[in-house]
């Protein structure tokens, strides 16, 4: 991969809700898992496009805390896909300079998958070209609840005073504590909702809801969205001087 070349005013952190795999498969009269497999292939193209677009941080929503409500076949298929993805992509991601992190609650994940996640995080921990964060069993509300639990424990055990809790303190307890907030959140497949993704972190993000189904998403479309982002007037609540 070429080195990161920050395009002026382009997004530094892009977060993606990869939606539409099921409909993509259905349109081809194939099982839903076929769509998820095609979706997993798209992730590589998008990661590889990041340095050229000046994207330093990419966060993708792979499995939500609500996705357990899907059929047992689909959930098992997705978990199997995540395991295979990690095994298959570890060498490529490591050599390409990608640092991988996982966010979300690991308690419901099986131990084999957790081991693979730990191994991939460790193998890529010294990389810095692109920071890829995969949200797996992630929900924004669940993340805030888990963070609050840890924060409350620190208060109860005297490490933190309640009067010191502010907007700077809480993010230090979130799964994303080492990441900047997303500048741009993209959702594919025509749905215009955020589905519990990065609730705290996306308070001032720009949003793009596009019709493309995730398995059809390309680096060219990402580039178009980055350019459009560059034309936006981000005020963060202020009035221009
Ligand atoms: C939403 O589409 C997609 C998911 C719940 C899974 C996302 C997973 C991948 C893209 C593949 C694996 C990713 C990685 C990082 C290995 P949907 O099933 O809700 O689609 P639908 O709305 O058309 O039914």
Pocket flag, ligand 1, residue 40 (CB < 6 Å): yes
CA-to-CA dists, residue 188 to 14, 81, 185, angstroms:
13, 20, 10
Q: Return the pLDDT at 238.
A: 79
Structure tokens at 145: 């609840």
Please check whether residue 91 lies inside any domain of the structure. yes
Report the DSSP pairing between strands 57-64 and 98-103.
unpaired
Structural domains in the chain (count): 1
Please check whether residue 58 lies inside any domain of the structure. yes
List residues bridging with 99 in a β-sheet: 131
Range of the domain at 110: 4-230
Spatial neighbors of 163 by CB under 8 A, at least 6 apart, are none
Q: Return the pLDDT at 8.
A: 58
| Ligand 1, atom 6, residue with closest C-alpha | 62
Please check whether residue 235 lies inside any domain of the structure. no
Query: Ligand 1 pocket check: which of 17, 19, 45, 74 to mutate, most ligand atoms within 8 Å of Cβ?
Result: 19
The pLDDT profile of the chain, 241 residues, written as one tens digit per residue, is: 444 454 458 999 999 999 999 999 999 999 999 999 999 999 999 999 999 999 999 999 999 999 999 999 999 999 999 999 999 999 999 999 999 999 999 999 999 999 999 999 999 999 999 999 999 999 999 999 999 999 999 999 999 999 999 999 999 999 999 999 999 999 999 999 999 999 999 999 999 999 999 999 999 999 999 999 998 877 777 777 6
Please check whether residue 240 lies inside any domain of the structure. no
Annotated catalytic residues are: 19, 67
Q: The CATH number of the domain where 139 resides is what? A: 3.40.1180.10
Instruction: Kindly give the distance from the C-alpha atom of residue 214 to the centroid of ligand 1, in angstroms, as a whole number.
Output: 8
């Amino acid at each position: 991969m070429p080195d990161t070349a920050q395009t002026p005013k382009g997004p530094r952190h892009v977060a993606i809700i990869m939606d539409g795999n099921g409909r993509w498969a259905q349109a081809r009269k194939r099982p839903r898992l076929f769509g998820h497999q095609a979706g997993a292939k798209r992730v590589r193209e998008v990661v590889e496009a990041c340095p050229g677009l000046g994207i330093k941080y990419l966060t993708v929503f792979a499995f939500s805390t609500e996705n357990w409500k899907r059929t047992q076949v689909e959930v098992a298929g997705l978990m199997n896909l995540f395991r295979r993805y990690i095994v298959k992509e570890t060498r490529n991601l490591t050599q390409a300079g990608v640092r991988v992190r996982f966010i979300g609650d690991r308690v419901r994940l099986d131990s084999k998958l957790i081991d693979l996640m730990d191994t991939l995080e460790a193998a890529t921990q010294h990389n810095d070209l692109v920071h890829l964060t995969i949200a797996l069993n992630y929900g924004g509300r669940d993340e805030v609840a888990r963070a609050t639990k840890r924060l409350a424990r620190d208060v109860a055990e005297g490490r933190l005073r309640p009067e010191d809790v502010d907007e700077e303190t809480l993010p230090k307890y979130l799964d994303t504590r080492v990441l900047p907030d997303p500048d741009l959140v993209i959702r594919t497949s025509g749905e215009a909702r955020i589905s519990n993704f990065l609730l705290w972190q996306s308070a001032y993000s720009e949003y793009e809801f596009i019709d493309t189904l995730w398995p059809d998403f390309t680096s060219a479309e990402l580039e178009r969205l980055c350019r459009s982002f560059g034309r936006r007037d981000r005020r963060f609540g202020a009035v221009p001087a």
